[in-house]
Structure 1
């Protein structure tokens, strides 16, 4: 049997079949809606127009908010926490204001609403866009039942610095993987789109370059030239907006090349509106219009409002600069009422597309039927299972055999930490519904295995005394195997949670060493929001499963993996550095004129009095070498896979051809498993230097033990296009190489040419 995977297959079974249009403007444009917008706009006072651009946060329904809504002075409300509150807010707006314009209620629903899925970085580790789409759909169904019709997700920032806390919120370092996952989330959130009451407007953020924040420090500056923006940072946004119809876009906090994104008219008008045809709504991040003053880009609040509106921002989130100053700016001739009208049109268009004018209310009983429903819990469990990455498995310690383990010691601060397990940005997930590894072990194997639990550390930054560690070693010696669960608390990653040291916090390293001294088999689970520098920790465990904060059903999923009910299939969505000093590090870097050859002398081997050029004049670090700890796309299984008979259908292609590469994939082990096959390409010579490898396609392939299959990828040559020296996007003819392998550092190159 031959399996065929085209580029569109990797984009979740073809974008068109999945509901993404190649022309969202034409598919969503409705003349009748535009007439309604113009009719309503014509009735609005200046103050009511300004009110539509004003977004406020409200955790309850105070009389002050009621008066604001009755006066039409707010267009969107953040953080209404229950369907009852959402309905009450809508009643003030719809039934008690002059024009009856509904508000749009928004919330940070990032990786689940009540049913929490793995953090987005973990979802990316699944390399399973269909499953990621299911997760976003579950989030939308639960959130819209509470009246939330707009989420600030997906985050499409390319992040190559794990010191940056918000790496947890995106899909990692690769533009293609981020594009695929962002498209899947957009489709999932928005469902069937116009007319679908479970449609929750997606918000492509942060536009743009935020993941390249200087020094890995949140809110910091970036300096990304236009060519790099277009080749690396903009493609995920273009796919989400242009081809999947994301209804909103959020500006980023950072300035790039000295221009804050919230005031960057080139980004918001030329690229987003003119080039991509976006007719949705642009919103600031929280107070990012007001922060133009702190940037030194605006003189005062009025100037900040002028710059933001002029640049193309439609709605102001929580700076109040639009509400307080636009009227005076129009009267003074510093902005035009037409500019305001254009912003209001985009806001009203979103509300019409969401069906809020026809049905602004929700059934208060609906949430009880959809929250934590079986379908959502099953999808969350599957996502947690597929997202876990097996990084080490010495002597095949995993999977555990329940018939041979009579006593299992479980230790570590995250073995039974339901809140921490959910990860960053989980405002609405409930710890009481989260199933931890310890709880799942007791539930599934407690009648067959004596499960001892001694956390030693209460939380990830906690410290232990030598006596406590010695006691753990003694207790571990009485067990047949030890499970250590360590990592990061949820608060250590996410927005504003950046780190300079990526080692395990507190006494967690010492805890692992204490378990290892028992001489018993040790398996470790690390739950974290980023790749940590764990090179020194590998010696203290036989097996290591890395679980980017796995959410509500993380415990049962991890226990299934520990005991071989399923085989790990996750792959690293980001490069793991050996040490922080290697950062930024990513697989798809440009080729230098002096690349490391692998034979250079490192610091520990450097003789005293060595000559200046004796160590190798290439691009490497004396003390950290040139290799990461784990490359992008890496992950072990409980079986082994073999790639062979890799062949292209021909050796030379025209620009409008499709490359067909076939190969045989074999499961050479004794367990059924899933492999993520990955296709990489290198453009050997270009008008600008090109990455050493670029991911262009991938596919999850299920194989039974001993099974082999012939697999085919189809890659349109047009996908090799890039923005070159002349700032035009095209495929440049010349020599290329192609790899098919299980990670970005494996396989042998196959040459081909484009004429």
Structure 2
């Protein structure tokens, strides 16, 4: 674990009590917004719309300071230096805990206000702007979508319930009159891949699916959460791009839902309306696109297309009144943040307890034959490609944790280093370099890692300001230096030591260097790499296993990512795995995906992944951050695995994916991945080879899955003694995983998505027809169902109390010791048969032997159904509640029928 350096910035200022001077003495927010817009020239108005440089520029003559409308805080504040990094959103969905989401949202906005003011205080100029483009509440309809990890799962009710509390937490208890920060639910609407065509694809959802599946979560976030902003999506709906869709933004959002805030486009979504190349071809010019979008209700352009509004005015495509309407919305919401108000004192809050709680609550125990919890004193072999990687804690759209805790460090802490062996075992996927593991690095004095000498200049001159041992070269410098340098932009590092290869063979060795940083790598005194700001790997053949001298010179000049990676031979990794598990009592296997693979549109395609989406649900084939990476020979890694497991009592194997592969649009294509999406849900082949090799050892195996989506880990149901879904688990995810495996924490997470058995279970990815998708419409047998999750404790349910008859429009009180309540409609209630639907849930805590009575309210809206025209109503008929620890048909539930008398229509 790297040493922790905590810097507390403490200062005191006065708190503003009035609106800004540019309100001209007005005290009413609406009047002020109208007034200030009336004072702007046409040129000034147009500049306020453009987000090309992220900032709405200052208007100095009116004392209006510049304002940054773009902020990210999906599961922790991003791009603001050190912040708290919570589990990826899909893991937060697994908590089934709205109260937790509220607390996380509250902490995010607290950090946002403090960080923005801290930046101004330390750097001498303001960094104003309190909007965060979160949460992502698109429905995770298909596990191959690379950005599904950013969502709360596949269920509209679960997603909406969590979104309400997250939005309320961000915006504060006085919203909408006074906001801590501005929440921005996204991407509105009907948006969930593929990433590869996201700038041009059109969705034609049925009216039933549109209202039943794609609208409820957004309605909840707007109508009940009172979100102040909404982001419109890239795609078109029924032939009309979302950001130019007046029916969506005007009728649905503002008229039906009484939305009070502003709409911002996804970045370059407005220019995507202009055809024909890779766009919607909806308009022919930028002025047309700008006019159509602002008329429809897109108030802010993340891009520069609104720079064409002057031409649109000249051509008669838009009026100044429409532009003023948009600006008044923007200034009104900005004013609600009371941007000049700051806390009287600002020590940076410590959120590690909340981060740990979130990580623990996200853990989903998929299966357990009694081997868990593991016992202290066991010899444990930890193997797998996802076990000791920073990004598999972070996910995508992440903050920068100051002192993350890896699973390996947490295992050493609990079991003792003498009882833990480790081997990487395999790559994540063929052709995808992986971080050079700590088992392959030694300092000059023989300790784990490399010796780092840190200099406060870019030329390695003079005496180092800091000397320390770094276990791996895997850093995230999101507006933070690798150490406490006086200048966070100008420093350099020299790492020395040995690369200990587990076997002879040809390795790909290099760096993931995302920025303008230069790096030189010497192996045995020979310069192997000299590169600046790119991912570069060189093949190098080692004739023998063991230590080889290396020297790394790193010159920081900006950027965010730097890591040393490799692709080791598969046989080498399998051999390493066998060695690591030889003496173990139990083997815990970590498998899964990576938020770099299942991600936003990436352009990076490997087997099973297509532009950030997944093309299959098995794990991938084979296998600024600054990372040293490699691709080691397969046979060498397998041999090392065998050695590592030789004396183990248990093998814990970590498999899965990477947030670099399941991701947003990337342009990166390898087997199983296409531009961030997945082309298969199978576990990558190289990881399946690893599991097959483990199977032959006949050791007890515990499997841990790291991913942001469902993976077809059918191997686990046949060969693993236990399995845990750990997602991308946050800055304290490593501790949370070990605490769960050893029983310090009793797991209670529930799957927010369906785990399918194979690709054959999935409809075509591009189809938005919901039949056959998610637990509500899937007619087959899943590997693990939505809502599934085990515990080390058994629970029984009794005493269900439900009225036998309910009038249409009334809420229903359900009284029982319960976690999940499902509703089944009468036959013919909907044009598409719904298996059953989650309508209430509650996370409860009981001690052993304790019982409790819990009452949950099922709102009348959750009792409603949608007809083929998209109209919603509570219909007369017979219904049935199922109450228990999961879905009916998969766990024992209490069942009770009841009647609804009368029919009442509900607004959309």
Q: Structure 2 length as normaliser, TM-score?
A: 0.66
Shift of 1:716: 3.8
**Structure 1: gaps of 5 or more residues:** 1-29, 59-73, 77-92, 597-618, 666-675
- Are residue 695 (structure 1) and residue 665 (structure 2) matched? no
Secondary structure of the 2:645 match is helix
> CA shift at 1:507, angstroms?
1.9
Q: Judging changes above 3 Å, is the alpha-carbon distance between structure 1 residues 327 and 215 closer, same or farther for their aligned structure 2 residues?
A: closer
Per the alignment, residue 85 of structure 1 pairs with: none
1:464 aligned residue: 570
Counting matched residue pairs gives: 637
CA distance in 2, matches of 1:157, 1:123: 15
Q: In proportion to residue count, which structure has more strand? A: 2
Task: Report if the CA contact (8 A) 1:179-1:237 is conserved.
Answer: yes
Determine whether 1:478 maps to 2:659. Answer: no
Question: Contact conserved, 1:502 with 1:533, CA < 8 A, in 2?
Answer: yes
Match of 1:682 among 815, 825, 829: 825
> How does 1:332-371 map onto structure 2 within 5 Å?
332-356=315-339, 358-359=340-341, 366=346, 369-370=347-348
Residue 410 of structure 2 corresponds to residue 440 of structure 1: yes
Question: Are 2:87 and 1:118 equivalent residues in the alignment?
Answer: yes
| 1:422 aligned residue (357, 369, 394) | 394
- Once the two structures are superposed, what CA deviation does each residue of 1:661-702 show, in whole Å capped at 9, x if it has no partner? 33456xxxxxxxxxx333434343326344221110011121
Query: What displacement does 1:229 show?
Result: 1.7
> What SS does the aligned partner of 1:250 have?
strand
Deviations 1:22-41 (A, max 9, x none): xxxxxxxx981111122212
Query: Match of 2:51?
Result: 55
**Which residue in the other structure is 1:226 paired with?**
207
Task: Label 1:702 to 1:710 Cα distance change in 2 as closer, same or farther (>3 A).
Answer: same
- Cα distance, 1:664–1:234 mapped onto 2, change above 3 Å: closer
Contiguous gaps of at least 5 residues in structure 2: 1-25, 78-82, 117-128, 433-566, 572-634, 666-675, 902-908
Specify the alignment match of 1:412 in structure 2.
Answer: 384
Cα shift at 1:724: 2.7
The ranges of structure 1 where at least 4 consecutive aligned residues each deviate by more than 4 angstroms after the TM superposition are 193-198, 214-219, 458-463, 589-592
TM-score where L is the length of structure 1? 0.79
Match of 1:642 in 2: 796
Inter-partner Cα distance in structure 1 for 2:177 and 2:110: 11
Offset of 1:748 from its aligned partner? 5.7
2:264 & 2:868 partners in 1: Cα distance?
Answer: 33
1:398 to 368, 372, 375: 372
Which residue is equivalent to 2:139? 158
2:810 to 657, 660, 664: 657
Structure 2 CA distance, aligned partners of 1:411 and 1:354? 48
Check whether the contact 1:145–1:198 (CA below 8 A) recurs between aligned residues: no
Change (3 A) 1:157 1:584: farther
Give the counterpart of 1:322 among 295, 298, 306: 306
Which position in structure 2 is the counterpart of 1:43?
39
CA contact (8 A) 2:424 2:637 kept: no
- Counting only pairs closer than 5 Å after superposition, residues 281-296 of structure 1 correspond to structure 2 as 281-293=262-274, 294-296=279-281
Report the more deviating stretch, 472-481 or 286-295. Answer: 472-481
2:422 paired residue among 442, 448, 453: 453
1:518 aligns with 2:697: yes
Aligned equivalent of 1:557: 736
Deviation at 1:413, TM superposition (A): 1.6
**Partner residue of 1:574 out of 753, 758, 771:** 753
- Corresponding residue number in structure 2 for 1:502: 681
Whole-angstrom distance in 1 between the partners of 2:179 and 2:226: 16
2:171 corresponding residue in structure 1: 190
Match of 2:102 in 1: 133
Does residue 304 of the first structure (1) align with residue 264 of the second (2)?
Answer: no
Describe the shift of the 1:425–1:215 C-alpha distance in structure 2 as closer, same or farther (beyond 3 A): closer
Distance 1:310 1:191 in 2: 31
Match of 2:225 among 244, 249, 258: 244
In the alignment, the residues of structure 2 paired with residue 687 and residue 306 of structure 1 have an alpha-carbon distance, to the nearest angstrom, of 39
Distance (whole Å) between structure 1 residues aligned to residue 37 and residue 194 of structure 2: 43
Kindly indicate whether the alpha-carbon contact (under 8 Å) linking 2:102 and 2:169 is maintained by their aligned counterparts in 1. yes
CA contact (8 A) 2:364 2:790 kept: yes
| Closer/same/farther in 2, CA of residues 230 and 195 from structure 1, 3 Å limit | closer
- 2:656 aligned with 1:487: yes
Quickly say closer, same or farther: Cα 1:225–1:706, change in 2 above 3 A: same
Q: Give CA-to-partner distance per residue, 1:424-471, whole Å, 9 cap, x none.
A: 112x414x6211110111223327x51112223365555511354244
Structure 1 residues 548 and 687: alpha-carbon distance in aligned structure 2, compared to 1, 3 A threshold: closer
CA distance in 2 between counterparts of 1:104 and 1:193 reads: 22
In 1, the alpha carbon distance for the partners of 2:809 and 2:226 equals 26
Q: Deviations over 1:230-270 (max 9, x none)?
A: 22211111121122221100001111121110110001111
In 2, Cα distance between equivalents of 1:129 and 1:194: 18
Aligned to 1:599: none
Checking the alignment, whether the CA contact within 8 Å between 1:144 and 1:197 is kept in structure 2 is no
Equivalent position of 2:362 in the other structure = 387
**Structure 1 partner of 2:255:** 274
CA positional deviation for 1:227: 3.3
More displaced stretch, 343-352 vs 702-711: 702-711
- 2:315 and 2:745 map into 1 onto residues whose CA distance is 67
Determine the C-alpha separation between the residues in 2 that align with 1:107 and 1:445.
41
Distance in 2 (CA, whole Å) between partners of 1:239 and 1:717 is 14
For 2:371 and 2:290, locate their aligned partners in 1 and report how far apart those are by CA, in whole Å. Answer: 61
Question: What does residue 673 of structure 2 align with?
Answer: none
- Match for residue 8 of structure 1? none
Cα distance 1:353–1:102, how it changes in 2: closer, same or farther (>3 A)?
A: farther
Q: Which has the higher helix share?
A: 1
Quote the RMSD (CA, aligned, Å).
2.9
Q: How many angstroms does 1:102 deviate by? A: 4.0
Q: Is the 8 A contact 2:179 2:337 kept in 1?
A: no
Say yes or no: does 1:106 pair with 2:70: yes
